[in-house]
Amino acid sequence: MSGILNSSIGRKFAMALSALFLMFFILQHFAINILSVFSPDTFNEVSHFMGTNPLVQFALQPVLIFGVIFHFAMGFILEIKNNKARKVSYAKNSPSGNSTWMSRNMIWSGGFILVFLIIHFIDFWIPEINTKYIVGDMSGMHNGEFRYYEELVHKFVPIWRVALYCIGFVFLALHLLHGFDSAFQSVGANNKYTKGIKGLGKAYSILIPLGFIFIALYHHFNH
């Protein structure tokens, strides 16, 4: 593993794999959260299953956390190494003519998303861990009903949190618009399906963040 990460190609390949893994997780996360709009009862049931299933909690969840840390750490490492490798200054190189704004600012959009993720963990993941493993309540119940839907709605009452989440998902869209194509290129997906992959990437990068924004706004205005 260390040998692969010592080469530029290896680091980009590892970065791409972690990106594809996280994009799959984001899609799965959205699929569960959109249930809160259309069927609160189903959302409660699925949330309880995900929150109490041993495979999810003790196998998949640690892999996810590792994937998040690895992706952001590798992103910063690649940015530092790319900066050191540039022999021509930006003033002479005219980067705006050779690359998109999104590709030149992945480090900044990624940094904001990292801050957003930390806040998201503080809002949802840490209280959930505290309830289940510190308090010891694995029932998922409150006043005789599953608590997940009510807790989600409660989080989106303050307008400042809704605004923060909307901004966070805008940055996620910007990050994905370049990251989706870059990830597939890094794993060698340049073939007759490239045009279709680019179209899928744009749709994913725009529609999924918009979907999350819709969820936040829906619960804010319908609480």
What domain count does the chain have?
Answer: 1
- Average pLDDT of adjacent 10-residue blocks, the chain of 223 residues: 65 87 95 97 96 94 93 86 62 55 76 90 92 91 91 95 95 89 75 77 95 97 89
Return d(Cα 19, Cα 183) in angstroms, integer.
7
Please give the pLDDT value at position 60: 93
The C-alpha angle 45, 26, 218, rounded to 5 degrees, equals: 65
User: What CATH number does the domain containing 59 carry?
Assistant: 1.20.1300
Q: Give 42-83 as a DSSP string.
A: HHHHHHHHHHH-HHIIIIIHHHHHHHHHHHHHHHHHHHHHHH
pLDDT of residue 9: 80
pLDDT of residue 11: 80
pLDDT at residue number 190: 64
Domain assignment of residue 69, given as a range: 2-221
Total Cβ atoms within 10 A of residue 120: 16
List, in sequence order, every residue forming a beta bridge with 146; answer none if it has no partner: 141
> What per-residue confidence (pLDDT) applies to 192?
62
Q: Residue 152 has which token pair? A: 């989600």
Provide the pLDDT for residue 2.
52
